[in-house]
Every structure is written in C-alpha cells, then in structure tokens.
Amino acid sequence: MDAGNSAKETVLITGGGGYFGFRLGCALSERGMDVILFDVSKPVQEMPEGMTFVQGDVRHTSELERAVRGVACIFHIASYGMSGREQLNHKRIEDVNVRGTENVIQTCKKNGVSKLVYTSTYNVVFGGQVIENGNELLPYLPLHLHPDHYSRTKALAEMKVLEANGTFFEDGQGVLRTCALRPAGIFGPGEQRHLPRIVSYIERGWFRFVYGDPGSLVDFVHVDNLVQAHVLAAEALGAPQGYIAAGQAYFISDGQPVNNFEFFRPLVEDLGYAFPTLRLPLSLIYFFAFLTEMVHFVVGRLYNFQPLLTRTEVYKTGVTHYFSLEKAEKELGYKPEQSNLKEVVEWFKAQGHGCKPRTYTLKHLLRHTALILLFSVVLLLWLPKTVRGSDRET
C-alpha cells in the first residue's frame, strides 16, 4: 500500500459504516485508494470522493462476493456483541463473529483477495487475570474460561484468520496472506459505541462511584493510531522483503497504561460534573453485574432493559491488563501519536452535552429509586458471601 501502488489498489472494509471503519476508509481514500465500505448500515457521515458504500452482511457469502470483485485487500472489522446488552445475544454474536469471519476467508480464497487484515481484541488472551506488559507470546485464553461470548468468538475468529495464512486460492493461482491486530479500547471524537453510553450515565447521575484497585492500569488507543496500525499491517502483508506480518498478531494501543477511571476524569470534570470519591470493591460490582445480566435474561426483551455493566466490562475496566508494543513497533513500524480526551470533550460540548440545571420528574425519581433498591439487594446478597470468605481465610 505504498504511494506508488495505492492508486491501483481497491480495498474493502467490512463494518465500514461504523466509527472506526469509516475513519480507516477516509485515511485509505486520502492515500489514493478506491475504498468499498461494506456494512449493514450506511455511514451517517457524508462519504468523500473515491469511497463507495455497499450494503451487505458478512453472514451472507453471496453479498460479500458481489462486493469483492477487483479487491486486493480486505480489512475485516465487522463484529457484534462488544458491549452492553449486545453481549448477551449469543446467537447473533456467533453468527457474525465466527461464521461471518469464515465467510470472509472463503470469499478471499474464492475471489483472489491476497491480503486480509483482521481487527481482533485484547480479550483473546485476557479473561480477568492480571497482565502487566504482556506480549504476543501469551497463549490464547482457554475458550471455556472466557467470561463472555464476544471474547470467546473473537478468539475463535482470530485463530481461523491466522490459520488461513498461506493457503492457496481456489484456482491455485495465488496465496492468501493474513494478520490480526489486537486493539485496546478505542476512543476519539465522534465515537458512538462506548463514550456516549458513559456520558449518558454521567448526565443521569449514575456515575456516583468508582471500583477496583486505584493502581490498576489498562490501555486505550486513539482511533487515528489504530488507523495507522491497520495501514501499516496491510503494507507489511504485501512487503516484497518477505511478507513481514503474514500469520502474525499484534497488540495495538497508545502505549500509555492508565487507571481506567482516571482516564475518564477529564471527560467528567470538563463537562462540569463532580468526579466520584466513593470507591467500592471490585467483587461487589462484579456481583452486581452478574445479577443485572440475570435480570436482562428474564425481562430484558420485554422491557428493553440495558444492563448498566456486564461482568466482562467490570474486568476490562477494573483489572490491570496492558501490553507491550515492541513487536508492532519493530515489525510494522508502528509509532503511536500521544493523545488525550481534550478533543473528545470538545466534541461532546459541541453536541450540547455538559452540566445543566436538573429538573426531576416522576420518571427520574422512579428510575433512581429502582437503582437504589437493586443495589441494596445486591449489597445484602454480597455481604454474607464476603463474610463467609473472610471466615474461611481466618
């Protein structure tokens, strides 16, 4: 994907209608490539010249095949079940993340697509255990130990992508080269999956405590750094000096491990809200998340119930896990730019967010009362278990 060849190259991005997929598409288009955004939903932003949107679903091979004619590289970003109540829809997670990935691989080999870059996740090796400066030599977390179906299926999909490296096209006239990038939590102005949910909790007055060890550290990655990593990975797959990235996985982050809640402090305070001083035990919040997941399974579909947190989100935000960038820096030439939440805060302010005088309605009162009651029940159920555990230790 160097400048000399980029004008002749067409790339396809599954999940191209989403936040990161669209940003990647814009970056590739600026480099002179023809970009096809493949997704079930069209981007909300206006597409620049040189980009084409094709509506389709990775669960349907026929729809993929209609879009890949002449494509040299696929960036497979599309996935389902990363956060919130989506994490609890096991069937769709399996269909999109595993069978969808199998369809992408099959489509590459059938249609002569020579490069496949897969967007994976830290979660393929992480399941709630402490990891400090981990690297790519860490084994996959055993599938039965994954605390959520999304992480399990992403691990399966990554395995399939890397196993497909070096396999021949169906016509025998070429070889598929593949690699996987494992990003940390993505942030940037306009991100639509995680940050709006966090801001909504802040504005509703639900962000009243933090949890876990104040010294716990996690990674984040700015969207532009993740774009850079994907461009470099595709270039490395086609590098004449030996397909550097072929069959490899890489952790990708900003390289600045930070406490999860301290990372979001500027977002809370610059929007005019008080940062919580109450810190609760991680085990209590995990138990709370477990019970809210159970509530979702019972009444979620009837009442459109959104869990405040899932168990996986508790681990991801409260347990130390960060990774070395040495392999990505050495083999891909990855050099993350330093970043912070300043531009994110400005984006939310421009959308009208920020602390305003509150007017409490009956709906607000009922909502807060329900949360207090639910948390009181959790506390009453959790305390006896904690006491029993302490008794056993003594």
Q: Domain-by-domain residue ranges, the chain?
A: 3-191+217-255+322-336
Q: From residue 341, how far is each of 177, 263, 267 by CA, in Å?
A: 36, 8, 7
What is the pLDDT at residue 182?
Answer: 98
Closest CA to 135 of 345, 342, 323: 323
The ranges of the chain with pLDDT < 70 are 1-8, 84-85, 241-242, 296-306, 356-394
Do 211 and 277 touch, CB atoms closer than 8 A?
Answer: no
Annotated active-site residue in 80, 122, 150, 211: 150
**Angstrom distance (rounded) from CA 144 to CA 123:** 13
* Torsion angle defined by CA atoms of residues 381, 387, 388 and 390, in that order, rounded to the nearest 10 degrees: 140
3-state DSSP assignment of residue 272: coil
How far from each other are the two terminal CA atoms of the chain, in whole angstroms?
A: 62
Do 35 and 234 touch, CB atoms closer than 8 A?
Answer: no
C-beta atoms surrounding 356 within 10 Å: 9
The question of whether 243 is a catalytic residue gets the answer no
Do 218 and 184 touch, CB atoms closer than 8 A?
Answer: yes
* DSSP tag of 235: H
Mutual orientation of helices 100-111 and 149-163 as an angle, nearest 10°?
20
**Angstrom distance (rounded) from CA 305 to CA 33:** 43
Residue type, 257: P
> Cβ contacts of residue 84 below 8 Å, gap of 6+?
197, 306, 307, 310
C-beta atoms surrounding 227 within 10 Å: 19
pTM higher than 0.85: yes
Mutual orientation of helices 260-270 and 342-350 as an angle, nearest 10°?
40
Residue pointed to by tokens 């990774």: 323
**Domain spanning 3-191+217-255+322-336: which superfamily?**
NAD(P)-binding Rossmann-like Domain (3.40.50.720)
